[in-house]
């Protein structure tokens, strides 16, 4: 299967871009490869989060106030 790429224009904070250029030079990889890898990791993390949300769908919901009361009762706060 042929790996296709698309060209995109993105705007990166200048300090982040500077750090990215230095990292790319140090590890001898192109910036686009580093950015693609970071995007893949972010999407994988989102996928894992959605899976966990689905697994916990039927759990009892607690309000913030209920959590605070429990923490106070247990002497945590």
* Cβ contact 32:24 at 8 Å: no
Q: Given this model, what pLDDT does residue 29 score? A: 98
Three-state DSSP class for 10?
coil
pTM (global) more than 0.85: no
pLDDT of residue 3: 76
CA gap 68, 2 in Å, rounded: 54
Does the pLDDT at position 1 exceed 70? no
pLDDT above 60 (res 77): yes
Residue 2 has pLDDT above 80, yes or no: no
In 3-state terms, what secondary structure has residue 21?
helix
pLDDT in tens, 15-59: 999 999 999 999 999 999 999 999 999 999 999 999 999 999 999
| Dihedral (Cα; 11, 15, 20, 21), 10-degree rounding | 100
């Amino acid at each position: 299967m042929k790996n296709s790429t698309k060209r995109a224009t993105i705007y990166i904070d200048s300090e982040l871009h500077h750090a990215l250029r230095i990292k790319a030079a140090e590890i001898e990889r192109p910036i686009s490869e580093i950015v693609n890898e970071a995007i893949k990791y972010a999407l994988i993390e989102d996928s894992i989060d959605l899976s966990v949300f689905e697994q916990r769908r039927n759990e009892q919901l607690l309000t913030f106030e209920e959590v605070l009361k429990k923490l106070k009762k247990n002497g945590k706060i």
